[in-house]
Amino acid sequence: MHRYTAIAIAMTTITAGCADVATPEELQHTRILAVRATPPGILAEQTSRIDVLAATEAGELVQPTARSVRIVGGFGAELLSQDESGWMLTAPSADQIAAARQAAGIEDEPWPIIIEVTVELDGKTLVADKLVLVDVATSNPEVVDIRLAGVPVQDEMVVSVGAEVEVSATAQPETAELSYAWASSVGELSLYRSQAASFATDASGDGTLLVVVRDGQGGVAWKAVPVRAASSP
């Protein structure tokens, strides 16, 4: 990866989905969890759709429509558009990209465009940055499944109160440098920045378990399953 693109990716990774909360593994914080561009890398004049994953104070997952989206530096607002489904970014023309490269003295690497996304949730204004790479075609990773003790969860993850179990995610492509972030609205998680985390609860209840996967190239995916913690008979 080229140095200029790497710096841009690092900057947006810090700000997108990384709210300043003491317990990020708990969903009960009003915050943006991830901003996804589909696709995350586009060629000249192609379009990428922007969507947001957020959590409410009650621990519910929502995908709010951004109140506003703006480009941070560089190209103008004419690259952004909105329809009934949400916001889109259209890549500049090949000539515009070439001119930007020449002005910056940068060649032979994807051109990073950083957008700032603002949403309103639980009476709060939330802001996150998202990187879209231009002049390269890339795809988001895919979370194939969430597993409980190695077994794929189908409709619901059922755990026994007092038991500590392993939860893991299978994601593709396996060759990518994938990172994982787990969060739950019930129970407790440890090793929540690993592909395999540890889950336990000392009380019965229902909630949601989420994993967000990033590929280090601006790609992101997520998957959530309902959780039911019940006392053993």
Q: What is the pLDDT of residues 36-67, one digit of tens each?
A: 999 999 999 999 999 999 999 999 999 999 99
Phi and psi, residue 28, nearest 5°:
-80, 50
Instruction: Enter the pTM of the model.
Output: 0.89
Cβ atoms of 55 and 49 within 8 Å: the answer is no
Domain boundary, last residue among 114, 134, 154: 134
Residues 18 and 99 in one domain: yes
pLDDT higher than threshold 90 for residue 75: no
16 and 123 belong to one structural domain? yes
**Token representation of residue 184:** 């739950």
Domain limit, last residue, from 134, 161, 187:
134
Arithmetic mean of pLDDT, 135-150: 96
- Amino acid at position 189, single letter: L
Query: Are both 17 and 115 inside the same structural domain?
Result: yes
Instruction: Give the structural domain span for 72.
Output: 3-134
Do 58 and 166 fall into the same domain? no
Integer Cα distance of 46 and 38 in angstroms: 11
